[in-house]
Amino acid sequence: MILHIDMDAFYASVEQRENPSLRGKALVVGGAAAGRGVVAAASYEARRFGVYSAMPMKTALARCPDLVVVPTQMELYAAVSKQIREIFHRFTPLVEPLSLDEAFLDVTGTQALFGSSAEIGAQIQRTIADELHLDASVGVAPNKFIAKVASAYVKPRGFTVVTPEDLHSFLDPLPVDKIWGVGRRAEARLGELGIFRVADLRQTDLERLKQAIGNASAEHLHALAWGRDDRAVVPDREAKSISHETTFPADLTDEEVLRAILLRLTEQVARRLRRHDRYCSTVTLKVRFSDFQTTARSVTLATASNSTQVLWDTARDTLLKRIPITQPVRLVGIGVSSLGDSPARQLGLFDDTSTRDTQVDQTTDLILERFGKGAIRRGTTHHS
């Protein structure tokens, strides 16, 4: 069985934990005075006003004039994320982080030690609450897709178990946009076919679906509607690629905001590489526009790297030069591939032999691991 564990309003909850006077208040992380910047995270109190992550701060302040804005502390969140991962590893070595605040766990092989998958999920949720004073939502299911849907089924502090026997009864009533890959355009197209719930999609003839939305999309969506997903949980050390992406609640047009979000994603990818002493040779940037056209561009590095600065320079240049932002953006993501255990550096005659960026990253990581919150911050980190 697979667990998907998703921390509830992670950045905002950490800030409220660190400063109890912020508890119960509409709070966002990110932005700046005068309303510039972007919301990195919003507390549940802020969400009641329609404030969400990736929203321009000026919009958030307009919706909630009493909003409390605190600056991002990525080092703090990364340190807490490491503590959460350590809890995960007490119960299984098969942990696949998706970001600082969520991960898949395969507990199939450890149930003899710790009890059923549901009991393990409950123990993890309770341990996070007891030791870290943070809330997590847990989904337990036969595969990744259903586990992720289950973890979001009830929030915050959700706990949803989907067994193979009740798989269809769980999925069927859900709106079709709960299926991965169904955005607004796909939802509208499926609606024209009379498909509004997962049950409708599952019961639709596959050939008819192929004629309407194409072979690949039809097969993908149809399989998920049946609850089929055979992807394994792959720890970072064994992964062939690592990526982070985010879908915005409202389409974005502000390039400054997009760069800030892309930088945050890049930092997370780079930290995951360094955590397992891995290096990438290929960097891929993914952008999905408001019309759901998705564009991806890949760049091969001259030297394999796990440097935040190298990855950021590559991603930023790709965004600005190779993917023109001609319409609002719905999703942005960065991925790295062609992973190896060494930088495999082959110097040319005029190459710079300095490894300054890598040394900066390694020193920064060591300081953060030892001293935690706010001990050091990258000069390029966007914290507005």
pLDDT tens-digit map of 159-202: 999 999 999 999 999 999 898 878 777 788 899 999 999 999 99
pLDDT > 70? residue 239: yes
Q: Which residue among 160, 191, 225 closes a domain? A: 225
Domain count, the chain: 4
Residue 267 is among the residues annotated as catalytic for this protein: no
pLDDT higher than 50, residue 274: yes
**Can you give the pLDDT at residue 260?**
82
CA-only gyration radius of the chain, Å: 21
* pTM of the predicted protein model: 0.75
Is 195 a domain residue?
A: yes
Note whether 80 and 61 are same-domain residues: no
331 shares a domain with 259: yes
Greater confidence (293 vs 361) lies with: 293
Q: Which residue in 15, 45, 96, 102 is the catalytic one?
A: 102
**Do 16 and 96 reside in the same domain of the chain?**
no
Domain range for 82 is 2-8+75-168
CATH number of the domain bearing residue 84? 3.30.70.270
Q: What confidence category does residue 346 fall into, taking pLDDT thresholds of 50, 70 and 90?
A: very low
Q: Are residues 156 and 177 in the same domain?
A: no
Whether 158 and 84 map to the same domain: the answer is yes
Six-digit token string for 264? 């945050």
Could you read off the pLDDT of 85-134 as tens digits, one per residue?
Answer: 999 999 999 999 888 899 999 999 999 999 999 999 999 999 999 999 99
Q: Are residues 66 and 105 in the same domain?
A: no
CATH number of the domain that residue 217 is part of: 1.10.150.20
Percent of the chain with pLDDT over 90: 52
Q: Are residues 197 and 143 in the same domain?
A: no
- Regarding whether 359 and 281 lie in a shared domain, the answer is yes
Please tell me which of 52-56, 107-111, 339-343 the model is most confident about, judged by mean pLDDT: 107-111
The stretch 266-285 carries a mean pLDDT of 89
Torsion of CA 244, 35, 9, 156, to 10 degrees: -130
pLDDT value of residue 255:
80
Strands 159-161, 280-289: pairing kind: unpaired
For residues 85 and 159, membership in a common domain is answered with yes
Does residue 381 fall inside a structural domain? no
Q: Looking at residue 32, what is its pLDDT?
A: 55
Question: What's 34's domain CATH number?
Answer: 3.40.1170.60
Q: Dig out the tokens for 42 from the structure.
A: 């919003």
Three-class SS of residue 344? coil
Give the helix/strand (H/E) hosting 69.
strand 68-70
The answer on 243 and 365 residing in a single domain is: yes
Residue 200 belongs to some domain of the structure: yes
Residue ranges at the known binding site for Mg(2+): 6, 101
Q: Which residues contact 93 (CB under 8 A, 6 or more apart)?
A: 235
362 and 243 within one domain: yes
Predicted local distance difference test score (pLDDT) of residue 91: 97
Domain membership of residue 90 (yes or no) is yes
Q: Range with the lowest mean pLDDT among 164-168, 238-242, 317-321?
A: 317-321
- Please state, as a whole number, how many other Cβ atoms lie within 10 Å of the Cβ of residue 329: 23
Residues 44 and 83 occupy one common structural domain: no
Q: Choose one of 49, 74, 99: the last residue of a domain.
A: 74
Residue 246: inside a domain, yes or no?
A: yes
Asked whether residue 382 is domain-assigned, the answer is: no
In a domain, 206, yes or no: yes
Q: Tell which of 168, 198, 216 closes a domain.
A: 168
Highest mean pLDDT among 72-76, 172-176, 244-248: 172-176
Q: Are 372 and 76 in contact, with CB atoms under 8 Å apart?
A: yes
**Which ranges constitute the DSSP H helices of 306-382?**
308-317, 356-371
